[in-house]
């Protein structure tokens, strides 16, 4: 029914209804009287027509006057809306491009006065580099009654700003014009550029981290991800965002832990687990952190780490087998003088000696043994922690032992502890003592021999030299032979005594 409110329709409708009513009512009045002559009837019809035209003319005048009043009121309202609109606005002539009127906001935002605006064309608002682009746009406006776009405008002070332009064709002062609304979006555009730059920097950042990263919505669609997920996905990397996680790994539907992600979002508790991706023979450590709209997920390839741990565990087992396959005591102490390893022999002797249990992390400076004990062992450990390799002999439980102290280095050649090896040398010391005593007796025998053998041997040599080798029948030779025989017997007795002493020494060592 909005059409009935239009002035042209309203006036036409009132005229039609008034005319119909006048004709019907006037004819009924005429039929009530029978005294009319043809001349009077003609006169009555003339008066009736004149009265009708006069009444209708007055009515139309009143209606047009009312309509014009409403139109002026509406125009004033529009002009008021135009003038006080917070968005810069102006109207320009389509043919000449001259600005016909401008509102207060445009004057305030652009810096030109109203007179300066009215002396300008819309080309004067554009920087020189955009005039060609503007002319192309104006050609397009010939067929478009309404248009919009983002343009660069120049203020009076020479600065530029980005504006969102909306135009609409209209009649103004009997001219074909366009109404322009220019919304300053410079700050918005700068914010969008900063946001775009921040987003670009964020993408660079998340793609630079070695860990995989992605965000999924509550329906498991990927919102954002870095390159690590794209490299793993079984579809093209450009199709990641917006896809469901299960669609990215169609051959492994539960990768990387769909059910655990569902639980994390349902309970709003983070999850941490390891998962194996058999298609690429990779182990992952995965962490999921729920938030209001989905789940933030980090994942890391730990295949090498797991293999390293496996080898380390194997080496540890081999080391334990090695250090426990000896009666020697072996243990290790860190920089805080706390045990980080020991073998069975050390554990057994520790329990026997200190009457308490030992465990990894326990202090190696036992308070129960007193301050002297602590000072001794602290000093030994500190020597090794300073880089010195040495041995130290010590009597423990009536046993003579030697302890090797060796610095322990990490892969960066930094000392991280001390390795200690205690070996029982009681038997060795006893053997060394026997050897020393035997050597002493042998030296005594040698000394005795040098004195006891020398006299009879010197006699023999002298007597042999005195024999007359040219005349064996010489009576003196007989006497010399008796002397030689006596010296030989003396030498034989000395040798037998030496043999007996040597045998006695060996028997004592054997016992």
Q: Are residues 175 and 213 in the same domain?
A: no
- Are the C-beta atoms of 313 and 361 separated by less than 8 Å? no
SS3 state at 417: strand
CA angle 193, 197, 202 (to 5 degrees): 145
Two structure tokens written together for 280: 């690429």
Of the residues 273, 305, 337, which one is the last residue of a structural domain? 305
Q: Measuring CA to CA, which residue among 127, 126, 131, 118 is closest to residue 92? A: 118
Residue 111's pLDDT is: 92
CA angle 117, 119, 124 (to 5 degrees): 70
Two structure tokens written together for 100: 């016909």
Of the residues 392, 424, 456, which one is the last residue of a structural domain? 424
- Residues pairing with 170 in the sheet: 177
Task: Indicate whether 204 belongs to any domain.
Answer: no
Measured distance CA(486)–CA(509) in Å, rounded: 35
Task: Indicate whether 198 belongs to any domain.
Answer: no
b/e string for 183-192 if b means 16 or more Cβ within 10 A?
A: bbeeeebeee
Q: Measuring CA to CA, which residue among 294, 344, 305, 340 is closest to residue 323? A: 344
Q: How many domains does the chain have?
A: 5
Q: Are residues 66 and 155 in the same domain?
A: no
Measured distance CA(211)–CA(300) in Å, rounded: 5
Q: Are residues 411 and 470 in the same domain?
A: no
Lookup result for tokens 């060592």: 509
Task: Indicate whether 203 belongs to any domain.
Answer: no
SS3 state at 183: strand
Of the residues 305, 337, 360, which one is the last residue of a structural domain? 305
Question: What is the enclosing helix (H) or strand (E) of 511?
Answer: none
Q: Are residues 227 and 291 in the same domain?
A: yes
Radius of gyration of the chain (CA): 61
- Are the C-beta atoms of 163 and 150 separated by less than 8 Å? yes
Task: Indicate whether 412 belongs to any domain.
Answer: yes
Q: Are residues 415 and 441 in the same domain?
A: no
Q: How many CB atoms neighbour CB 181 within 10 A? A: 20
Q: Are residues 374 and 399 in the same domain?
A: yes
Q: Are residues 90 and 130 in the same domain?
A: yes
Question: What is the enclosing helix (H) or strand (E) of 270?
Answer: none
Residues whose CB falls within 8 Å of the CB of residue 433, separated by 6 or more in sequence, listed in order:
none
- Residues pairing with 213 in the sheet: 298
Query: What is the domain extent for residue 231?
Result: 209-305
pLDDT one digit per residue (tens) for the chain, 511 residues: 555 566 666 666 776 777 677 666 666 665 565 565 666 666 666 766 666 677 767 777 776 776 666 666 656 666 677 888 888 999 999 888 899 999 999 999 999 999 999 999 988 888 877 777 776 666 655 555 556 788 888 899 988 888 888 888 888 888 888 889 998 888 888 888 888 787 777 767 666 667 888 888 988 898 888 888 887 776 665 678 888 887 887 766 555 577 888 888 889 999 998 888 877 888 888 999 999 889 998 888 898 888 888 888 887 787 777 778 888 899 999 999 999 999 998 999 888 888 889 999 999 988 777 888 899 999 999 999 999 999 998 887 778 889 999 999 988 889 999 999 998 877 766 776 777 776 777 676 666 666 666 666 676 667 676 776 666 666 666 776 777 777 777 777 777 777 776 666 656 555 5
Residue 331's pLDDT is: 92
Task: Indicate whether 313 belongs to any domain.
Answer: no
Q: Are residues 222 and 293 in the same domain?
A: yes
Alpha helices in 35-130 (DSSP H): 38-84, 104-110, 114-118
Q: Are residues 242 and 334 in the same domain?
A: no
Task: Indicate whether 194 belongs to any domain.
Answer: no
> Inter-axis angle of helices 7-31 and 38-84, to 10 degrees?
160
Q: How many CB atoms neighbour CB 300 within 10 A? A: 17
Measured distance CA(144)–CA(182) in Å, rounded: 18
Q: Measuring CA to CA, which residue among 509, 376, 495 is closest to residue 434? A: 509
Residues whose CB falls within 8 Å of the CB of residue 183, separated by 6 or more in sequence, listed in order:
87, 88, 163, 164, 165, 166
For the chain, give the longest Cα–Cα distance.
232
Whole-model pTM: value is: 0.41
Q: Are residues 183 and 257 in the same domain?
A: no
Residue 420's pLDDT is: 93
Task: Indicate whether 199 belongs to any domain.
Answer: no
Q: Are residues 66 and 114 in the same domain?
A: no
Measured distance CA(26)–CA(33) in Å, rounded: 12
SS3 state at 408: strand
Measured distance CA(507)–CA(501) in Å, rounded: 10
CATH number of the domain within which 106 lies: 3.30.450.20
Q: Are residues 92 and 39 in the same domain?
A: no
Residue 486's pLDDT is: 75
Task: Indicate whether 44 belongs to any domain.
Answer: yes
């Amino acid at each position: 029914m909005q059409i009935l409110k239009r002035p042209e329709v309203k006036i036409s409708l009132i005229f039609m209804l008034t005319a119909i009513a006048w004709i019907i009512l006037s004819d009924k009045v005429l039929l009530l009287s029978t005294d009319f002559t043809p001349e009077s009837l003609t006169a009555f019809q003339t008066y009736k027509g004149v009265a009708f035209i006069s009444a209708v003319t007055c009515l139309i005048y009143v209606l047009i006057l009312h309509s014009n009043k409403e139109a002026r009121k509406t125009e004033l309202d529009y002009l008021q809306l135009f003038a006080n609109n917070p968005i810069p606005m102006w109207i320009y002539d389509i043919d000449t491009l001259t600005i016909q009127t401008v509102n207060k906001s445009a004057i305030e935002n652009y810096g030109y006065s109203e007179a300066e605006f009215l002396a300008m064309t819309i080309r004067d608002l554009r920087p020189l580099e955009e005039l060609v682009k503007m002319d192309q746009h104006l050609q397009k406006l010939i067929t478009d009654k309404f248009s919009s776009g983002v343009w660069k405008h120049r203020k009076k002070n020479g600065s530029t700003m980005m504006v969102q332009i909306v135009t609409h064709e209209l009649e103004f002062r009997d001219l074909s014009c366009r109404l322009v609304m220019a919304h300053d979006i410079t700050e918005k555009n700068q914010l969008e550029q900063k946001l775009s730059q921040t987003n670009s920097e964020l993408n660079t950042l998340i793609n630079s981290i070695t860990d995989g990263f992605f965000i999924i919505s509550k329906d498991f669609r990927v919102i954002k991800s870095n390159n690590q997920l794209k490299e793993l996905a079984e579809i093209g990397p450009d199709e990641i965002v917006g896809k469901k996680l299960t669609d990215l790994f169609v051959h492994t539907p539960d990768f990387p832990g769909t059910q655990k992600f569902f639980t994390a979002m349902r309970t709003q508790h983070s999850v941490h687990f390891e998962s194996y991706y058999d298609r690429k023979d990779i182990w992952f450590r995965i962490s999921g952190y729920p938030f209001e709209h989905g789940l933030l997920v980090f994942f890391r390839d730990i295949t090498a780490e797991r293999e390293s741990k496996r080898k380390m565990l194997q080496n540890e087992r081999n080391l334990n087998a090695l250090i426990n396959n000896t009666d020697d005591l072996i243990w290790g102490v860190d920089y805080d003088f706390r045990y980080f390893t020991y073998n069975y022999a050390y554990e057994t002797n520790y329990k026997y000696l200190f009457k308490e249990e030992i465990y990894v992390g326990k202090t190696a400076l036992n308070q129960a043994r007193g301050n002297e004990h602590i000072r001794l062992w602290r000093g030994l450990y500190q020597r090794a922690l300073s880089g010195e390799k040495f041995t130290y002999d010590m009597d423990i439980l009536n046993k003579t032992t030697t302890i090797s102290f060796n610095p322990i280095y990490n892969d960066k050649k930094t000392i991280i502890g001390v390795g200690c090896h205690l070996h029982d040398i009681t038997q060795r010391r006893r053997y060394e003592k026997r050897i020393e005593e035997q050597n002493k007796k042998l030296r005594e025998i040698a000394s005795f021999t040098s004195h006891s053998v020398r006299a009879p041997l010197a006699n023999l040599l002298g007597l042999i030299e005195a024999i007359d080798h040219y005349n064996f029948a010489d009576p003196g030779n007989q006497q010399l032979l008796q002397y030689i025989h006596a010296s030989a017997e003396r030498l034989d007795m000395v040798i037998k005594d030496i043999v007996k002493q040597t045998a006695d020494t060996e028997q004592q060592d054997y016992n």
